[in-house]
């Protein structure tokens, strides 16, 4: 029995250090430099993909900016000033914000709206996928196959920028993207909302065709290097794998995601 009353998804606004920031310099039109400029962007309702702040910043106005950002669910990374200098030669005042080309969809409202509309949710969650081309290809497949949304983490995930939109062939402008602050809270919320959580992992003997995806389902894919984070994997209701009989032991993550997505489509069209 599916509980159509969606429980509340707890969010954390904790700011943490993170070392998986970009090294490529984006176009300047995708960045905002300076404390005041970033604060004005937040006040104007601009959607920020992330904000880099100088690690040793301790000014009152810097603390004011952090307070503003806490209410926006924007990832904040505290980095050395040398990292900031890699992105621009301008006077950044210790702060650089990266503009998002898309609006993000709250996970709670998305799931509730799907149930209210009488739909059987089919979601895709990416755990630690950082390659923009893989992300774009997965987003494109999701849009083509009718997946209702793509879920990513606020930290440790791909940057949503112009390159991501291009790699998705524009799919990011039509496919709802949910950026969650805490992946484990999101997985618990999805379970409590009646979704089956199907993890793609090599640590099982169960074939991917053996799980029923005609019910409300979220497919979880991890990165090619590390797979699904162990604590997230424990929260998945089903663990399945793709059969491998050749010399190469793994598929590209975007190819594997496509196989899982179209298995769900096949089952739902029977």
- Does residue 51 sit in the same domain as residue 172? no
Q: Return the pLDDT at 25.
A: 74
- Is the distance from CB of 73 to CB of 11 less than 8 angstroms? yes
Per-residue burial over 48-66, b = 16 or more CB atoms within 10 Å of its CB, e = otherwise? bbbbbbbeebeeeebeebb
pLDDT lower than 50: segments of the chain? 1-22
- Does residue 67 sit in the same domain as residue 182? no
- Does residue 232 sit in the same domain as residue 252? yes
* Residue 18 falls inside a structural domain: no
Cα–Cα distances in Å, from 220 out to 18, 41, 107, 152, 232?
Answer: 23, 33, 15, 10, 9
* Residue 17 falls inside a structural domain: no
Query: What is the CATH classification number for the domain harbouring 87?
Result: 3.30.1330.30
- Does residue 144 sit in the same domain as residue 249? yes
Helix segments in the chain, DSSP class H: 35-43, 60-70, 81-85, 107-116, 132-145, 162-167, 183-192, 230-233, 253-268
Q: Return the pLDDT at 111.
A: 98
Query: What is the CATH classification number for the domain harbouring 121?
Result: 3.40.1280.10
Among residues 97, 96, 122, 92, the alpha carbon closest in space to that of 110 is found at 122
* Residue 22 falls inside a structural domain: no
- Does residue 157 sit in the same domain as residue 49? no
Q: Return the pLDDT at 4.
A: 43
The span from the CA of 11 to the CA of 155, in Å, is 13
- Which residue range forms the structural domain that includes residue 113? 107-268
Tokens of 35: 């404390």
Q: Return the pLDDT at 247.
A: 65
* Residue 136 falls inside a structural domain: yes
Locus of tokens 């879920």: 151
Q: Return the pLDDT at 5.
A: 43
Q: What is the dihedral of CA 191, 157, 16, 66, to 10 degrees?
A: -100
* Residue 6 falls inside a structural domain: no
Q: Return the pLDDT at 207.
A: 96
Q: Return the pLDDT at 72.
A: 80
Per-residue burial over 25-44, b = 16 or more CB atoms within 10 Å of its CB, e = otherwise? ebeeebbbbbbeebbebbee
**Which tens digits make up the pLDDT trace of 74-122?**
888 899 999 999 988 888 999 999 998 999 999 999 999 999 999 999 9
Q: Return the pLDDT at 244.
A: 82
């Amino acid at each position: 029995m599916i509980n159509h009353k969606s429980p509340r998804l707890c969010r954390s606004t904790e700011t943490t250090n993170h070392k998986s920031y970009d090294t490529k310099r984006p176009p300047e039109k995708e960045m905002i430099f300076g404390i005041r400029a970033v604060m004005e962007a937040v006040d104007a309702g601009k959607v920020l993909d992330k904000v880099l702040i100088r690690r040793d910043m301790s000014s009152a106005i810097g603390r004011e900016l952090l307070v503003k950002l806490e209410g926006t669910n924007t990832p904040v990374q505290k980095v050395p000033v040398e990292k900031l200098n890699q992105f621009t030669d301008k006077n950044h005042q210790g702060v650089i914000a990266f503009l998002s080309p898309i609006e993000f969809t709250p996970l709670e409202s998305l799931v509730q709206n799907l149930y209210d509309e009488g739909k059987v949710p089919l979601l895709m969650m990416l755990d630690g996928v950082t390659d923009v081309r893989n992300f774009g290809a997965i987003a494109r497949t999701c849009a083509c196959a009718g997946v209702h949304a793509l879920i990513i983490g606020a930290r440790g995930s791909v940057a949503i920028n112009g390159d991501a939109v291009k790699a998705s062939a524009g799919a990011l402008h039509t496919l709802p993207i949910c950026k969650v602050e805490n992946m484990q809270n999101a997985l618990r919320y999805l379970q409590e909302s009646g979704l089956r959580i199907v993890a793609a992992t090599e640590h099982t003997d169960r074939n991917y065709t053996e799980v029923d995806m005609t019910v409300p389902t979220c497919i979880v894919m991890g990165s090619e290097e590390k797979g699904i984070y162990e604590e997230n994997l424990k929260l998945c209701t089903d663990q399945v794998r793709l059969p491998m009989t050749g010399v190469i032991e793994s598929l590209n993550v975007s190819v594997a995601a496509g196989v899982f997505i179209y298995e769900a489509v096949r089952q739902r069209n029977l």
